[in-house]
Structure 1
Amino acid sequence: MLVIDNLHAEVDGKPILKGLSLSVNAGEVHAIMGPNGAGKSTLGYVLGGRPGYEVTQGSVTFDGPENQKLDLLELEPHARAAAGLFLGFQYPVEIPGVSNVQFLRESLNSQRRARGEAPLSGGDFLKLARAQAGALEMDAEMLKRPVNVGFSGGEKKRNEMVQMGILDPKFAVLDETDSGLDIDALRIVGDGINRIMRAPGKAVLLITHYQRLLDYVKPDQVHVLADGRIVRSGGPELAHELEAQGYAQVAA
């Protein structure tokens, strides 16, 4: 579903990704772990198309609608989203003056229009939004509030999972979704990822520092990212090895 080949990227002229290659098949969850500054968030931003992250070499191929092979790097960010890519941010932004409901309905309907689908009516959208909020144990009243304004760290991450449930992407890149979550919220968010994304035609790239989220979202493969490259890959047991021994020992 996603094939990254020899990807190099830089920020402000500084090389961050230095030949990263990775393949994620449909139906799989892959976890990326690594020390601070290794390039984990840069990888997410490059896949999402964030400005300021310049790809200098390599390619990214994505299976879009009807499994059409797309050159992801040639698409604008909104086109990547319409093709089925979702990027969950390490630090979700606040958008004062824009309600969750307004933001989410416009996001969903813009993607539906891009795919040639009819937009959802207000009533149908509210049913969908309330169902997704309920599944993530988020008070439906929070849908009326400005996007992430006044939300705790855990509420922002839970709200982001509601967004993912509504948009229903094919491929999710989740950057430290476990950051700021307490024990209960970690379980709820983990269950949400499994409910929304554990399906034969979907896949997840889960970027995390810690093994704890992987207790809930079982990865098919775990990769260690260090100095802009994948330096080691393995099964779920690799995450436990990292937790016990640290990155320097395992990636050496």
Structure 2
Amino acid sequence: MSNLEIRDLHVSVETEQGTKQILKGVDLSIGEGETHAIMGPNGSGKSTLAYAIAGHPKYTVESGSVKLDGEEVLTMSVDERARAGLFLAMQYPVEIPGVSVSNFLRTAKTAIDGAAPPIRGWIKDLDSSMSQLRMDKSFRERNVNEGFSGGEKKRNEILQLELLKPKFAVLDETDSGLDVDALKIVSEGVNRAKANTGLGILLITHYNRILKYIQPDFVHVFVAGKVVEQGGPELAVRLENEGYDRFLSNVNVGS
């Protein structure tokens, strides 16, 4: 059984005002096939956690560990993290001019697996996933995310998720900017990937609405760079009804 263990993680970032500590001792354990939702107000450190796991150079890990199946992730390059089985779906996917979706995906799959997938089977899998995500076949030859709408970019990320088959996926506000129909389609793709591969999911979101389609096993509340409460799906409903005021008040009192 695969597992992703985050222990006492402290992360900082350089700002115009100097070094700012964002994460202040985060502990999380995600097992194979589990879905963990991270919720919290703006500026609480949710996206910082995602980028630290992925190895974004802007963020400095001051202490702590992130281990995938016992192997320290923080000493790995970004490419090594992907080959080890980590996947990050970004809040704002970047455009890659001059690189088609089809070529990008096959190159990524080859790099991760160490061998190119057989072309006939690859095209079949690609077409099947695109069809289920309601993506026209013409997207295969379009440049990655270039001219894509927000919803198309998010579908393209879930297409990558389905085809690259990572062990763990960090989904950073995947629901951002999606209408109800697109949200359902994207959520179905995530659920398919989980059902087919035992994918472990760390889902970062502001809102409960995506959790109606992607059922979390655990919900963790982030405030001021720490996990301040955790529970089951009922906690997300409570947050939707009550907001974060009581957590913010406790932080202000303690500061």
TM-score (norm 2): 0.92
Q: Identify the range of structure 1 (74-83 vs 120-129) with the bigger mean alpha-carbon deviation.
A: 120-129
Aligned: 1:180 with 2:186: no
Q: What is the correspondence of 1:205-244 to structure 2 with a 5 Å cutoff?
A: 205-244=202-241
Counterpart pick for 1:161 among 155, 158, 162:
158
Question: Secondary structure at the residue paired with 1:14?
Answer: strand
8 Å CA contact 2:228–2:247 kept in 1: the answer is no
Question: Following TM superposition, by how much is the alpha carbon of 1:201 offset from its aligned partner in structure 2, in angstroms?
Answer: 3.7
Question: Following TM superposition, by how much is the alpha carbon of 1:180 offset from its aligned partner in structure 2, in angstroms?
Answer: 1.2
Aligned: 1:150 with 2:150: no
Question: Following TM superposition, by how much is the alpha carbon of 1:97 offset from its aligned partner in structure 2, in angstroms?
Answer: 1.1
CA–CA separation in structure 2 for the residues paired with 1:109 and 1:124: 14
RMSD: 1.2
Counterpart pick for 2:127 among 117, 127, 130:
130
Question: Following TM superposition, by how much is the alpha carbon of 1:143 offset from its aligned partner in structure 2, in angstroms?
Answer: 1.6
Correspondence for 1:71: 72
User: Per the alignment, do residues 152 and 90 of structure 1 end up closer, same or farther by CA in structure 2, a change over 3 Å counting?
Assistant: same
Correspondence for 1:92: 93
CA–CA separation in structure 2 for the residues paired with 1:245 and 1:102: 46
Correspondence for 1:33: 39
Question: Secondary structure at the residue paired with 2:107?
Answer: helix
Question: Following TM superposition, by how much is the alpha carbon of 1:137 offset from its aligned partner in structure 2, in angstroms?
Answer: 1.2
Correspondence for 2:65: 59
Counterpart pick for 1:203 among 200, 203, 206:
200
Question: Secondary structure at the residue paired with 1:54?
Answer: strand
Question: Secondary structure at the residue paired with 2:43?
Answer: coil
8 Å CA contact 1:4–1:61 kept in 2: the answer is yes
Question: Secondary structure at the residue paired with 1:86?
Answer: strand
8 Å CA contact 1:241–1:250 kept in 2: the answer is no
What code does the residue aligned with 1:8 have? H
CA–CA separation in structure 2 for the residues paired with 1:45 and 1:23: 17
Aligned: 1:43 with 2:12: no
Question: Following TM superposition, by how much is the alpha carbon of 1:199 offset from its aligned partner in structure 2, in angstroms?
Answer: 5.6
**How many equivalent pairs are there?**
243
Runs of 4+ in 1 over 4 A off after TM superposition: none
**Ranges in structure 2 where 5+ consecutive residues have no aligned partner:** 251-255
**Ranges in structure 1 where 5+ consecutive residues have no aligned partner:** 64-68
Question: Secondary structure at the residue paired with 2:27?
Answer: strand
Identity percentage over the alignment? 52
8 Å CA contact 2:223–2:247 kept in 1: the answer is no
